[in-house]
Structure 1
Amino acid sequence: MKINFSTYYKYFLASGMTAAVVSCSNTKFLKEGQMLYTGAEVKIENDSLSKKEKNDLESALKDNLTPKPNSSFLGLRPKLYAYNVTKEPKKQKGLRYWLKYKFGEEPVLLGDVDKEFNKDIIVNYSENKGYFNARAKYDTVSKNKKAKVIYTLNPGGRYLISNVKFPADSSEINKEIRALKDKTLLKTGNPFDLEVIKAERQRIDDGLKNRGFYYFNPDNIIVQADSTVSKKHEVELIVKLKDKTPDLAKDQFTIDKVVVFPNYNLRDAKRGKYSIPMNADSLKGYEYNNIYVVDPDKKFKPRVFDRALYFEKGDLYNRKNHNLSLNRLINLGVFKFVKNEFVVSDSLNHKFDAYYILTPRELQSLRLEALGRTNSANYAGSEVNLNWTQRNFFRGAEQFKASLYGAFDVQIGGPADAENIFRAGANTQLSIPRIVAPFRFNSSSAFVPRTNIQLGYEFQNRTTLYTLNTFSASFGYQWKENIRKEHELKLIDVTYIAPANETPKFIALKEGNPYLTRITERQLIFGPTYSYTYSTTMLPQRNTFYYKGMLDLAGNLTGLISGANVRDGNQKNIFGVPFSQYVKVENDVRFYHKFTEKTSLATRFIAGVAIPYGNSNFIPFSRQFFVGGSNSIRAFRARTLGPGSYDPRTETNTRALFDQAGDVKLELNAEYRANLYKFLNVAAFIDAGNIWLLEDPQNERPGGKFSKNFLSETAVGAGLGLRLDFSILILRLDLAMPLRVPYYEKGDRWTFDKINFGSGAWRRDNLILNIAIGYPF
């Protein structure tokens, strides 16, 4: 492979000159005496701090300084430039107004910077981190109408915690505070840190809330710092209750009565049609397991609330159970608003009643959806869905969903022998908000465990080729341990696939081609499946993680009992159809790193394998792995890549008809994401991976078998993308090109020397536009 470095050098030189011109051109719009503010620099003068401590402190101080300079991208300030070059709009709308005031940024000038204020921020922040003797100064550096401010900090020695005291007295609340001290966040030898002190006050408040002190507040705790009792640069902390803490905050409350209003309507309440008497003795309802339910129309079975609520009469108030109850009521999915109030019923004995005021959602809904779509395999089509939902099917917050759908996909462009696809079907699902089983399942999670029952049917017609009928059914459970961990176990997951028609054209195509024959074989797949998901992506952290593992065990117990062994000629049937027997494992790992509020890196690694045995020689086509397309390796059309180094171009008569499938899958993706303007995001990405076969005894797809040379058969693609994020909808456009093609000759698989953007033929064959909804991962 020969790379013309002189050409690339010209490109880089031209890019650099362009950056310099655009950057300098922003300053020509400044008035006499104005200077463009390019940001602040923080320097720390202290030999006792480590390099990491200095860097962390400098970064934190810089984040607190104001104002922020104009945003830049690769050294350029395109938003500032757009503001400067766009003439003043005559109206507050239109393209010119959008460019100047929505996309554009007004210049941030040196005169906008309050340097004394920033100096005070630096000193105050340093003191809050334990640098009690901090001093700061600043200086301004300017050149070519640009200026930056350099702040220099001399923090002095950092004060460490020498001792932490929790003074004792005879009050009940003091005893509870002292009972919490073993898990204090204030550790001897650690630096003084105001944020840690605030967190300690919150920790104590949380602990007291879980011990009945409903009216307590973190502000009732004071942490005093004394630097006179220890040696230099040490401080003693005293954690105690404020003297002026209200008496109500010192009282432990217990639950007297639990009252539920499950059919509260805010609109009717405003009209005076429906009011809630905050006096449990005057309620007109009924009691169920110590819960008062006010439901005149009996829309809900009372056991729904017995399962969801964690408070009982006589319980000490507990904030954890308080939140658990609210979250479980919300996760039932049947209530639009959930409100909780506590009303003191016996102030002398410190008791209150717990009221749960629930506003139901519309119990039934009917929705018609119509959508258009396109994919990278040159298919365009439409789909229509009719969905009906009943959210209280048996009066126990069971959700029943039924849908009818019809869809068609027509191949536009591409090979002349392409075939169109028509699909129609129906699905039903009953979701019960509890575990239906002969054993007792106790869950202390805020998420309601569910039993799911599903039935489905799909009719698929590939016009002049074949027709398939697919029947599916499943029964299983779904539950979450907490916000991070989720489990889904399908005790039985059944799929039956039966061909209804094979045309003479398809029969001729599959003669002598066992791979095509397997597509329309009768298939009976049943067995348990299990998936586990662990995710921290919902947490406000710089680094977040996502993992999903899936295990599919088809026909395992049946094959074991029946002694099925297809390789010994002992294949077993059920109702005249051989059942599938295999083990399939798939792992999806993702890591997200946030550089700034507007830039991040997302990575994903997928590894999967499916192994047939016993009653099966091959994995059913519908359970194999596929790659390519808008959510996979985007430089290759959907499901056209692989297996291994197999060249799909050899399928002269069938290449447009069938998906390439494999038993092993490896895929790696990386994507740099940046926000340009509100809803407008850009991305640069690279994808790599492939699929392989475990066995290919008849050499149906040469080069497709997994071997020690699998790395040399890895496909690589890269590209750029635009994402229009409208909150409720994310429209994604990714333009990708292949960098490595596994079915080329071994020494010629990298394609850098073949890139030719000026060639229409090259662009047509190599630039793949993916249009999709949502992010790829």
Structure 2
Amino acid sequence: MNKSHLLYFLFLGLFASSCSNTRFLPEGELLYTGAKVTVEGKEVSKKEKKALKTALKEVVRPKPNSSILGLRPKLYIYNLAGTPKKEKGWRHWLRTKVGEAPVLYSQVDLEYNKSVLQNFAENSGYFNTKTSADSTRHGKKATAEYSVKPGKQYKIKEVKFPTDSSIISTAVRNTRRRSLLKKEEGYSLDAIKEERVRIGARLKEKGFFYFNPDYLKVQVDTTVADHQVDLIVKVKDEAPKLAETPYKINKIIVYPNYSIGSDSVKTNMDSIQKYNDLTIIDPENLFKPRIFDRALYFKKDDLYNRTNHNLSLNRLVNLGTFKFVKNQFRVSDTTGNYLDAYYYLTPLPKKSIRLELLAKTNSANYTGTELNLNWSNRNTFRGAELLTISAFGGVEVQVSGQNNGFNVYRVGTEANLVWPRLVAPFKLNSPSGFVPKTKATLGYEFQNRTKLYSLQTFKGSFGYLWKENERKEHLLNVTEITYASPQNVTALYQEQIDANESLGKVIEKQLIFGPTYSYTYTNTLQKRKKNTFYYKGTIDLAGNIAGLVSGANVQKGDTIKLFDVPFSQFVKIENDFRHYYKFSPDSQLASRIIVGAGYAYGNSAEMPFIKQFFIGGTNSLRAFRARSIGPGSFDGASTNTNTFLPDQSGDIKLEFNTEYRAKIYGLVKGALFIDAGNIWLLNENPDKPGAKFSKKFLNEIAVGAGAGLRFDFSFLILRTDFAFPIRKPYLPDGDRWVLDQINFGSGTWRKENLIFNLAIGYPF
């Protein structure tokens, strides 16, 4: 039997199984297969008919069983599972979680749907709409058919706001500039509702604390002209006086040690602290008053506004010290229109200890486990400072790849101290609800690469993290210091160095210090957007000031050492841009471009190995072994006679990835992807012919393709990818495209080309 016959019988089997779904229907029932909506009449244009038809079909209920190419696999699985004997187990899970119960025609209410369609059309300005409903039966299946004949759409002639001089009417009138109700646009009840919400939100910004959209009404006058309406915005007569009054802030009272279960707050005069405009009631003196002065945006006599209200709450939450944050505003007993603001804060336990067992993967295609022991103090110096001391140990192995057996063992410790403010001689006035932070880090790690070498690394950093808003984030490390020292270099690795001197860079002593800065922009949290973006730009400046001051120049033999180690001097820039296009809630196209370059000068002839670029692996070019591609057309595997495959590094990186992601069913998602890119050296290296970047760099791009599954368990995403190369840059020029060599039926081809990647999380 050839492949075409096999596919034919497979499709026939699926079709037959789909048809058999009706066998399981209760006696006298029909399977509901969906609704057909037609829009008729000459009163609306073709464009309006198309848009109205799409919108109307969405409001019809119920929805039929989900289908793929006319087949209903979820319904088939539901029927295949049968009736489980108990509410647990494999059969129950298959029927209730994976399967889908049949949608019966008896669940369809034609008259109700007819009225829903008519109301929707009229609420969209198509007054005098006529609707009808019917159904059609085909064997044991039935469809619903709805006909909608709308009248000509009414357009907005004029929008009128209150004209009297009262405070509330003036405030409402002042919001008209950004009104959602526009002249000549179609009448829409939804737009009217959104306009009321918009006006209510604007009034909240102007001190009207007690105002809400229900106190507004929009009258519709249909007598002004043919198929036109006037919309008249008014404040309801029954709106309470409180809602029509703008308020200012009077007292601001903070309870930093509030118990959420208590019915009242007990205070005494000794526990009351005054700090600027704040009254702080902290009998145990747990916190310094200045942290609340920084977090709260309101000052005495400020006009109330919802923005400062929310920003204050966000900042208190982002301090990371409080378990619950509760806020109340009450009319003040003082003369005038004032509110007293109360903040009730329930602290988290000051000290905690946590033990974590982690599963992890990295870009080098290593998979492993790590044990972390973390001790935290959330209020170290009474200023909401977070001190974390951790110890860790782990092992990483390469599941697939030439480095299988060259395991990595890691142990170390790290201390982090985070201040919820900028510890700096300058001020940063951030209008966001995110607290600017200062972070200091000290750490040590001992890493043993079995059969090769050991590496101990000391690191330290001091810097600032701040957000402009939920989309823009800055990270500035004023200094970042790394000192790496090798140990226990094996004879095997020394043989590698003798054959390829550039491998000696890996175990050279390294001293790297200097500032780093990164900027991140993302709007991917906006779920309703079709197009979302992520961008991260990073610049790393190492040894620049020290190099300038000392006059270091390795080219002239003027190498400067600190602690008997030459310090590194370089500039490194990297840009990571990602775009996500959403086709539907269950499918999207994700793309990424990475462009980076590093340049060593002054005290360094080359970039430090740990700061160079790498490519290939589970989160990069998935059709190639981790860190095995490049630089340029150089083939690292061909120069290696042992089982160990050394990491290939470069000074320039270009990478492009695109991936189509779609939900298959349940927690299973699928993906099709293409990856391309390479790395290059800036200078010639006699040990790596073809590695230098040149104008022919596009001819040295590696390309791979593949498919995979993602299992979304909510707490983690398990990713499996199968990928294969379609362009190999290390082959002779003219032979690099290998599409014609693809042969999934050949065991030899699969062994040499098919790469399996197991990872946690999406690659980008």
Length-normalised TM-score, structure 1 = 0.92
Moved more, 664-673 or 336-345: 664-673
- Tell me which residue corresponds to 1:289: 276
- Tell me which residue corresponds to 1:261: 255
- Tell me which residue corresponds to 1:341: 328
Contact 2:461/2:481, CA 8 A, preserved across alignment: yes
- Tell me which residue corresponds to 2:241: 247
Distance change (3 Å), C-alpha of 1:147 and 1:599: farther
1:509 is aligned, of 496, 499, 506, to 496
Distance change (3 Å), C-alpha of 1:739 and 1:34: farther
Contact 2:615/2:679, CA 8 A, preserved across alignment: no
- Tell me which residue corresponds to 2:527: 540
1:555 is aligned, of 520, 543, 559, to 543
**Does residue 97 of the first structure (1) align with residue 92 of the second (2)?**
yes
> Aligned AA for 1:345?
S
Distance change (3 Å), C-alpha of 1:465 and 1:121: same
Distance change (3 Å), C-alpha of 1:13 and 1:479: same
SS at match of 1:228: strand
Q: Give the Å deviation of 1:431.
A: 0.9
- Tell me which residue corresponds to 1:396: 383
Distance of 1:413 and 1:584 partners within structure 2: 31
Q: Give the Å deviation of 1:657.
A: 4.3
- Tell me which residue corresponds to 2:619: 631
Distance change (3 Å), C-alpha of 1:512 and 1:146: same
SS at match of 1:66: coil
Distance of 2:222 and 2:335 partners within structure 1: 43
Which digits, 9 at most, give the CA deviation of each residue in 1:246-275, with x for residues without a partner?
A: 1121122222211111111224x27xxxx3
Contact 1:717/1:737, CA 8 A, preserved across alignment: yes
**Does residue 573 of the first structure (1) align with residue 561 of the second (2)?**
yes
Q: Give the Å deviation of 1:491.
A: 1.6
Moved more, 553-562 or 326-335: 553-562
- Tell me which residue corresponds to 1:606: 594
> Aligned AA for 2:92?
Y
**Does residue 213 of the first structure (1) align with residue 202 of the second (2)?**
no
Which digits, 9 at most, give the CA deviation of each residue in 1:633-660, with x for residues without a partner?
A: 2222322233233323213335624212
1:191 is aligned, of 186, 194, 203, to 186
**Does residue 643 of the first structure (1) align with residue 631 of the second (2)?**
yes
1:355 is aligned, of 342, 360, 365, to 342
- Tell me which residue corresponds to 1:23: 18
2:658 is aligned, of 639, 658, 670, to 670
Which digits, 9 at most, give the CA deviation of each residue in 1:458-496, with x for residues without a partner?
A: 112223332222121111111111111111111212212
**Does residue 364 of the first structure (1) align with residue 351 of the second (2)?**
yes
SS at match of 1:227: strand
**Does residue 688 of the first structure (1) align with residue 675 of the second (2)?**
yes
Which digits, 9 at most, give the CA deviation of each residue in 1:586-639, with x for residues without a partner?
A: 222222233333333322222222233333332211112222222222222322
Distance change (3 Å), C-alpha of 1:556 and 1:58: farther
Moved more, 91-100 or 727-736: 727-736
SS at match of 2:332: strand
> Aligned AA for 2:252?
V
**Does residue 656 of the first structure (1) align with residue 644 of the second (2)?**
yes
Distance of 1:118 and 1:587 partners within structure 2: 52
- Tell me which residue corresponds to 1:3: none
Distance change (3 Å), C-alpha of 1:569 and 1:8: farther
Distance of 1:54 and 1:565 partners within structure 2: 74
Q: Unmatched 5+ residue regions in structure 2?
A: none
- Tell me which residue corresponds to 1:432: 419
1:134 is aligned, of 129, 134, 142, to 129
> Aligned AA for 1:21?
A
Distance of 2:38 and 2:525 partners within structure 1: 35
Which digits, 9 at most, give the CA deviation of each residue in 1:390-440, with x for residues without a partner?
A: 111111011111111122234568659953322221111111111111122
Distance of 2:698 and 2:105 partners within structure 1: 55
**Does residue 70 of the first structure (1) align with residue 65 of the second (2)?**
yes
- Tell me which residue corresponds to 1:617: 605
Distance of 1:510 and 1:331 partners within structure 2: 50
Which digits, 9 at most, give the CA deviation of each residue in 1:110-162, with x for residues without a partner?
A: 33222222222222222222222333334434445444334333333222211
Kindly report which structure 2 residues correspond to 1:626-775, keeping only aligned pairs within 5 A, or say none: 626-654=614-642, 656-678=644-666, 680-775=667-762
Distance of 2:539 and 2:19 partners within structure 1: 59
What fraction of aligned residue pairs are identical, expressed as a percent? 53
Distance change (3 Å), C-alpha of 1:411 and 1:487: closer
SS at match of 2:763: coil
Tell me the matched-pair count: 763
Distance of 2:403 and 2:214 partners within structure 1: 75
Q: Give the Å deviation of 1:217.
A: 0.7
Q: Give the Å deviation of 1:179.
A: 2.0
Distance change (3 Å), C-alpha of 1:125 and 1:347: farther
SS at match of 2:135: strand
> Aligned AA for 1:595?
F
Moved more, 457-466 or 761-770: 761-770
- Tell me which residue corresponds to 2:115: 120
1:161 is aligned, of 142, 156, 159, to 156
Contact 1:375/1:638, CA 8 A, preserved across alignment: no
Distance of 1:661 and 1:139 partners within structure 2: 69
SS at match of 2:71: coil
Distance of 1:60 and 1:281 partners within structure 2: 62
Distance change (3 Å), C-alpha of 1:718 and 1:56: farther
**Does residue 40 of the first structure (1) align with residue 35 of the second (2)?**
yes
Contact 1:426/1:457, CA 8 A, preserved across alignment: yes
1:276 is aligned, of 253, 257, 265, to 265
Contact 1:669/1:685, CA 8 A, preserved across alignment: no
> Aligned AA for 2:430?
S
**Does residue 595 of the first structure (1) align with residue 590 of the second (2)?**
no
- Tell me which residue corresponds to 1:315: 302
1:446 is aligned, of 415, 433, 446, to 433
Contact 1:718/1:736, CA 8 A, preserved across alignment: yes
> Aligned AA for 1:235?
V
Distance of 2:223 and 2:460 partners within structure 1: 74
Contact 2:364/2:618, CA 8 A, preserved across alignment: no
SS at match of 1:528: strand
Q: Unmatched 5+ residue regions in structure 1?
A: 1-5
1:583 is aligned, of 571, 575, 586, to 571
Contact 1:552/1:583, CA 8 A, preserved across alignment: yes
Which digits, 9 at most, give the CA deviation of each residue in 1:358-406, with x for residues without a partner?
A: 0111221111222355679775543221111111111101111111112
Which digits, 9 at most, give the CA deviation of each residue in 1:39-92, with x for residues without a partner?
A: 223333366756554443332222222111111235432110011222222222
Distance change (3 Å), C-alpha of 1:672 and 1:151: farther
SS at match of 1:346: coil
Backbone CA RMSD of aligned residues: 2.8
> Aligned AA for 1:634?
R
Distance of 1:497 and 1:729 partners within structure 2: 33
1:465 is aligned, of 446, 452, 455, to 452
Q: Give the Å deviation of 1:33.
A: 5.2
- Tell me which residue corresponds to 1:148: 143
**Does residue 521 of the first structure (1) align with residue 508 of the second (2)?**
yes
Distance of 1:531 and 1:730 partners within structure 2: 27
- Tell me which residue corresponds to 1:306: 293
Distance change (3 Å), C-alpha of 1:724 and 1:281: same
Contact 1:667/1:687, CA 8 A, preserved across alignment: no
Q: Give the Å deviation of 1:99.
A: 1.7
Moved more, 121-130 or 427-436: 121-130
- Tell me which residue corresponds to 1:227: 222
> Aligned AA for 1:601?
L
Distance of 2:608 and 2:135 partners within structure 1: 71
Distance change (3 Å), C-alpha of 1:243 and 1:643: same
Q: Give the Å deviation of 1:220.
A: 0.5
> Aligned AA for 1:276?
V
